[in-house]
Structure 1
Amino acid sequence: MAELLLGIDIGTTNVKAAVYDSDLKFIAEASSEHPTNFPFAGGAEQDPIQWWAGVTAAVKELLGKTQVDARRIAGICVSSQAPALVPIDREGKIVRNAMIWMDRRAEGQCAKIREQLGTKEVLAITGNKIDPYFLLGKMLWFKEKEYEKYAVTDKILQVNGYINYKLTGKCTIDKVHASLTGIYDIHRGTWSQTILQALGLSGNKLPEVYGSTEVIGTVGKEAAQAMGLSEGIPVVAGNVDASSSALESGVLGEGEAVDMTGTSTVLMIGSGRWRSSETLVSMHHPVGNNTLLFGPISSTGASLKWFKDQLGKQETEAARELGLGCFDILNLQAQKANPGANNLVFLPYMAGERAPIWDTNARGVFFGLNFNTTKNDMVRAILEGSAFALRQNMEEAAKMGVEIKNLRAVGGGSKSPLWLQIKASITKTPVITIEKASSGAFGNTLLAGQGIGLYGDIASVLKNNIKFKTVYTPDESLYDRYDKLYDIYKAIYMNTRDEMRKLSQMG
């Protein structure tokens, strides 16, 4: 009987657990939601205890509804949203709520880092820029603003690192997450003493770095009882959720790319070598010595959710009456609007923006509202504005010499044919859906399988197991209209960014 592999992903909005057999046949999946707290403008926190509760609930559910024999599970891999600051004390207790990737409170600390170390120095060591997105600024904020809590912190973990700790009792970090901290020396493969010493930060609070497929420990008695698993199951170091999606989409080589859209959008592009950038993020690939260029766009799906929550009461009620999801209704509305959304342009900067502008003060904009503007136009403008942001990141990659051949699509956003067609036409790139896409869980089972010796060359395994589903071809008749709107999209930000900054500083 084939062994089973358990993949777990902790995203921004939910936990997902999936089981595959060693032949990579899907067995079952389950999920559990968790909230995000926004204590003030720029702050974004989650309770790690809720992640663990979600993991145990999801694993119990999938084991219970499928009658899977837990004794057949041979390996576990966990991926997660990233980067985050998750501090625990010597007893493993949470010191404060986690500051997640969305948290932008460390702008002042990042200014201090630029002054003390210099942008070029940090870029040369870590391969990435200085920004509140990365752990470095968050860690300095933690030390300066909450020193008593910082002092009792034993280890600062990542989201999957906390779950791995609960599973095994070991404090670890995988090298993919490490490359997103802003503290990891990509050349030496160690924490940068230059950065830590310059800022007076303790390297002892950072966990040991492992390769994604290295076994870090086994499931302990308490965790096994909580989830209904057997003790002693090997757990590998894991991965970032976006790079797990890249892996399961077959993104390994130069120019292969995937768009993962959920709450946010992440553009992952295969790169044959490390490329440091001021506009895109560079990170290790979970497999071999490959690397990835990473274009994180903050609020694409979140902008749709905002519209639903604030302006979509009728749509929510209609969805309930028709037995549809609310986002299905929004897609139907957007379909009724003409391409270009009646000359309405949306900037999806509802929580500031990451790549490629990296501006905490950026704000969402509907530009071009008039008395003829409809809700249909507004929904379509959100879809198109998100696609303009995607195109802007793809153009940054092209400037670095990486040309994207086609764009694979995964995540909740890939369930919208209209959105995929819009992305294809705006980026002038074919968009392809994946048959076995699972937002990272399938990629995690691949890593778990390699970690316990079931698979050798993952590239060969992927070649035999990835099946493309639908290809969305760009509509060339829309190029001219979308090109003009794209130029306006970029100009709106460039011409209003000072005013956006003033607004954000008004409190």
Structure 2
Amino acid sequence: MEQKYIVGIDVGSQSAKILIYDLEGNIVARGKKKLAPMHLAKPGIVEHPDDDLWDSLCEASRMALDDFDGDAEDIIGIGVGGIRCCRVLLKKDGTLAQPVISWMDDRTAMPYEHTNRETAYVTSSTGYLSCRLTGEFKDCVGNFFGQWPVDLETWNWSEDDEVIRQYQIPREMLFEAVLPGEVLGHITKEASQRTGFPEGLPVVSTTNDKAVEGLGSGLIDDETAVISLGTYITLMIQGKKLPENPKALWAILSSVPGMYLYESYGIRRGMWTVSWFRDLFGDGLVNEAAKQGMSPEEYLNKKAGNVPAGSDGLMTILDWLANSWEPHKRGMMIGFGAHMDEAYMYRSILEGIAYTMKNNCDAMCRELGKSLKEIVISGGGSNSDVFMQIFADIFHLPARRNVINESASLGAVINTAVALNVYGSYEEAVEKMVKVQDTFYPIVENARLYQKLNERAYSRMSDYTDGVLREIHSIYHD
């Protein structure tokens, strides 16, 4: 029997990643193109320059095909995924009317304003990319998360005139909404020339990047949480019902049709903070890591492994990018001692991420009346044994990582495999394609210490610091 393959597209905040999988969920080729730096015209404005998302996707696709030993004609489909909460304004022909507005831009937290007369469509990053690939004006309804007139119960655009007025996007400016796991269209001749993928290849819809990452991590039951370590860090649990008036979570559409994801509050610029800290030390860190035959991240993780659990009380508050409704918030480190070095600072950042997500998870689980049996850590940060153990200890739960931590692209492939009838159900596809690498279990003494530090200090930090931060903010903005 001839081997067949599926392509998973994952265009995030920092790079375009194209991975080619076999039907057992193994990566056989990959291409990655780093995105250009965001254009920051003024505070609150964050845009992807030029046509960077599409250009980077095309280059990464050609890189993946160059890395592929098989025959491109044996590729049977493409699942297209991308960063959510962006706003993309298109002309009638599907090309950009202006640069893509990043999810970090203040405008995405407000209803759309029709200020560009060339705009014929308002869509998501995945809507734009799938349009460039297929020429069709269709997108998965689950990609419209935030300021969009979506009816979560019907999995379609709202038909309520008041909702349409609230979000200010006329129906004729919206793409056709489809379910996850549906064929959006087929690779056009022009897209084939740009990407290298065969003309006529089916392109399949997937839900927004976090939801499809949950699917690629194997999130099928309601007793497992997936923690997504990306530029935006969040935690997800799957369920069957749409909660009424949730307070500690968002309910979004799952990549499994008919299911919902309950998503906790997250950390903006989460893993970006880790990269920021690494880059602060520049060539000195790079050179020292090179001497030991390591990457800078491996070197920092090695050093952090020698720091005691709790970092001797050094704590990091991860508000490096404040929400629009909390403009006074700022990141901070508190609890320095003279013996502390970059390893303490680095470990405290990792612990701050785990503390924050633990507290957000607890609030969500209390509201849902759920308890968890395990957590799955997804994203590049899961490669760190130190980070995995910190998660297990702070959550006091087994922390699992999978063989494939590029789980957004794998989720897109699973959607495609089910759409093309490679597998008869999502449960079967997950069983065949998602493989566990290892599991970290809580160390009892560490878990006890973290619980005390969290309950008596970390979780209460803002009670003491918000007042000071508000005063600082008022000095600069009054």
The CA deviation at 1:280 is 1.7
Pick one of 462, 485, 492 that aligns with 2:430: 462
In 2: Cα distance, 1:260 partner to 1:51 partner: 22
Q: Is the 8 A contact 2:147 2:167 kept in 1?
A: no
1:469/1:200 CA distance change after superposition, 3 Å? closer
1:234/1:257 CA distance change after superposition, 3 Å? same
The CA deviation at 1:504 is 4.2
1:41/1:483 CA distance change after superposition, 3 Å? farther
The CA deviation at 1:153 is 1.0
Instruction: Name the SS for the 2:18 alignment partner.
Output: strand
Name the TM-score, length of structure 2 as normaliser: 0.92
Provide the residue aligned with 1:343 in structure 2.
313
Instruction: Name the SS for the 1:278 alignment partner.
Output: coil
Q: Is the 8 A contact 2:399 2:441 kept in 1?
A: yes
Q: Deviations over 1:310-363 (max 9, x none)?
A: 245421221244442211121122122211112111001101259xxx745421
In 1: Cα distance, 2:92 partner to 2:257 partner: 33
In 1: Cα distance, 2:436 partner to 2:146 partner: 30
Pick one of 356, 370, 387 that aligns with 2:354: 387
| Cα RMSD after superposing both structures | 2.2
Give the letter for the 1:177 counterpart: N
The CA deviation at 1:182 is 4.5
1:235 corresponds to 2:203: yes
Give the letter for the 1:475 counterpart: I
Structure 2: 5+ residue stretches without partners = none
Q: Is the 8 A contact 1:15 1:32 kept in 2?
A: yes
Structure 1: 5+ residue stretches without partners = 107-134
Provide the residue aligned with 1:169 in structure 2.
135
After TM superposition, the structure 1 = structure 2 runs for residues 105-504 of structure 1, keeping only pairs within 5 Å, are 105-106=106-107, 135=108, 137-140=109-112, 142-143=113-114, 147=115, 149=116, 151-188=117-154, 189-191=156-158, 192-198=160-166, 200-275=168-243, 276-295=245-264, 296-352=266-322, 359-400=326-367, 401-487=369-455, 488-504=457-473
Q: Deviations over 1:41-91 (max 9, x none)?
A: 444322362121221111111212223322222211111111111111113
Give the letter for the 2:267 counterpart: I
The CA deviation at 1:433 is 0.9
Give the letter for the 1:279 counterpart: A
The CA deviation at 1:219 is 0.7
1:223/1:175 CA distance change after superposition, 3 Å? same
1:469/1:362 CA distance change after superposition, 3 Å? same
In 2: Cα distance, 1:284 partner to 1:198 partner: 21
Q: Is the 8 A contact 1:13 1:36 kept in 2?
A: no
1:450/1:237 CA distance change after superposition, 3 Å? same
The CA deviation at 1:16 is 1.0
Name the TM-score, length of structure 1 as normaliser: 0.87
In 2: Cα distance, 1:200 partner to 1:239 partner: 23
In 1: Cα distance, 2:438 partner to 2:26 partner: 21
Give the letter for the 2:309 counterpart: P
1:394/1:94 CA distance change after superposition, 3 Å? same
Give the letter for the 1:298 counterpart: R
Matched pairs, number: 468
1:502/1:494 CA distance change after superposition, 3 Å? same
Give the letter for the 1:325 counterpart: S
Q: Is the 8 A contact 1:81 1:159 kept in 2?
A: yes
